[in-house]
Amino acid sequence: MSSNNMADPKRQNKILRYKPPSTESNPTLEDPTPDYMNLLGMIFSMCGLMLKLKWCAWIAVYCSFISFANSRSSEDTKQMMSSFMLSISAVVMSYLQNPQPMSPPW
């Protein structure tokens, strides 16, 4: 509450525009999770495609979901979509080549 005995504190002439803080000066403040998850997702989906491992492909799908959930709004949606598509294609290709169900590791 601005004190009633003081004049109005607002000053139209002192307005300063918002400048988004540059992340280059503070790389530690940035959350690295979406970038790591994106990279992991790509690695797992490549493994799943090349080595025909179903569980790799499923983990890749999870990684791309996690990366999407943690992403910043300024990030490119194309990157997100491409990692999604890659992981889903890894799952589909694994099942097309080998329709057997996945065996649990235990």
Partner 1 sequence: MCCEPLRALHFFSPVQVSIMQRPRLLLIPILLLLLAFPGSKGRYNDDFDDGEDLAEFDDNDFAEFEDMNEDLTAEKESAPPPRVSSAQPEEDEDEDEATVELEDGQDGFEDSDTQVPAHLQNSWESYYMEILMVTGLLAYIMNYIIGKNKNSRLAQAWFNSHKELLESNFALVGDDGTSKEAVSTGKLNQENEHIYNLWCSGRVCCEGMLIQLKFLKRQDLLNVLARMMRPACDQVQVKVTLNDEDMDTFVFAVGTKKAMARMQKEMQDLSEFCGDKPKSGAKYGLPDSLAILSEMGEVTDGVMDNKMVHYITTQAEKIESIHFSDQFSGPKVMQEEGQPLKLPETKKTLLFTFNVPGMGNTSPKDMDSLLPLMNMVIYSIDKVKKLRLNREGKQKADRNRARVEENFLKQTHAQRQEAAQTRREEKKRAEKERIMNEEDPERQRRLEEAAQRREQKKMEKKQMKMKQIKVKAM
- Binding region for partner 1 (CB under 8 A): 1-2, 9-20, 25-26, 28, 58, 61-62, 65-66, 69-74, 99-104
As measured in angstroms, the least distance from the Cβ of 23 to partner 1 is: 11
74 versus 76: smaller Cβ distance to partner 1: 74
Report the nearest approach of partner 1 to the CB of residue 67 (Å). 10
Tokens 């109005």 label which residue?
8
Q: Report, in Å, the least distance between residue 82 CB and partner 1.
A: 19
Q: Find, among 30, 55, 36, the residue nearest to 44 by Cα.
A: 55
Q: Quick one: 2 or 96, whose CB is closer to partner 1? A: 2
CB 87 within 8 A of CB 58: no
Q: Counting beta carbons within 10 angstroms of the beta carbon of residue 38, is it exposed (0 to 12), middle (13 to 18) or buried (19 or more)?
A: buried
